[in-house]
Amino acid sequence: MKILHVLDHSIPLHSGYTFRTRSILKHQHQLGWQTCHVTSPKQGHFDSDIEVVDDLAFYRTKVPKGLLTKVPGVNQLALVNPLRDRILEAIEIEKPDVIHAHSPALNGLAALKAAKIAGLPVVYEIRAFWEDAAVDHGTCKEGDLRYRLTRKMENLVVNRVDAVTTICEGLRNDLVSRGVPEEKITVIPNAVNIEQFNLITEKNSELAKQLGLEDKVVLGFLGSFYGYEGLELLVAAMPGILKQIPNAMLLLVGGGPQEQNLKTQIHSLGLQDKVIMPGRVPHADVTRYYSLVDLLVYPRKPMRLTELVTPLKPLEAMAQGKLVLASDVGGHKELIEDGNNGWLFKSGSVTELINKTVQVLDQQADWEKTIANGRKYVEDERNWGNSVANYQQVYPKLVAQNK
């Protein structure tokens, strides 16, 4: 069986977006399935019509030109037909059995148009509702015209494709509430490649000395500084935490839209000597920074995006034997059982964050058990092999129905 994947981008250009895709493709190959790949005009510049990345061939789609591409809103729809045509060209060459379109809905629309001509079934994978992400990024407001149109487009695609997959139960439940039949949706959960993560058993002494974190209790966050992550809550909690744990330090590794706001907040609270922000670090060095952190904190704010979507970072932390504390938004509650494989606190509450942080740091007797439970959870339930195996409930059924 061969699956044609329709994507916005391919590795390595947008590795954050395509980490899940790379893992899916790898494990689909291990299941004996072949894959081929088409990227949308959003990929941008390319050197060849077909490029090979990580031994995978990607059919590139040229960026369209013309008046419609310059009109805001309409310019996005102008991407659909060129992508449809490129999908059809790939189908002619590759002869796939199934088209698997990855969100956003524009990819789904193009896949549906191509599938109608080629007579193939379509699977549509949703990683997040893009209108909700746009609200956090400030490009639209919840309920405004753009938000409603994007939602309508998503509904159109979901209702017309043959099968839908989501990365978590939150997204699945939201679709069911819209009237999508439960049996049409399969959850392919976010996971980690467990073999790529070793348990961290000691701190990197050289880096600790370099950053001034020797003999400190280190709270940390490694990732992108988006508004929905709620990092300003973590900074706001530091004065209260320091009153009870004077040698506490906060390590924020990464960067993003909220970086300058966080620096301003840190300065206004007089925390310059208590918060370390080394910026983005090379991927090869990430483990060294993880090693310094006693407690990873994920204070995501309560909003549709965080209630519905599960993050990857807590799973990566658990896989490395790190302690995790997270807000009790829906996406975190799918991953973390309070007091078992991590801890939860009331989302949006600085007071609750302070109290739970101090509680966790005071209960060192529970750490070993919690670390072991976190690692076991990832090994048994949140590894990519188990996750991707769920496609065995989806593809063969569609192929059989299409004969």
Per-residue pLDDT of 252-263, as tens digits, reads 999 999 999 999
Pairing relation of β-strands 50-53 and 56-59? antiparallel
The rounded mean pLDDT for the chain is 91
Tell whether the model's pLDDT for residue 194 goes beyond 90.
no
Show the domains of the chain with their CATH numbers.
2-191+383-402 (3.40.50.2000), 194-381 (3.40.50.2000)
Tell whether the model's pLDDT for residue 134 goes beyond 90.
no
Q: 39-48: per-residue pLDDT in tens?
A: 998 887 777 8
Tell whether the model's pLDDT for residue 11 goes beyond 60.
no
What per-residue confidence (pLDDT) applies to 146? 73
What per-residue confidence (pLDDT) applies to 16? 41
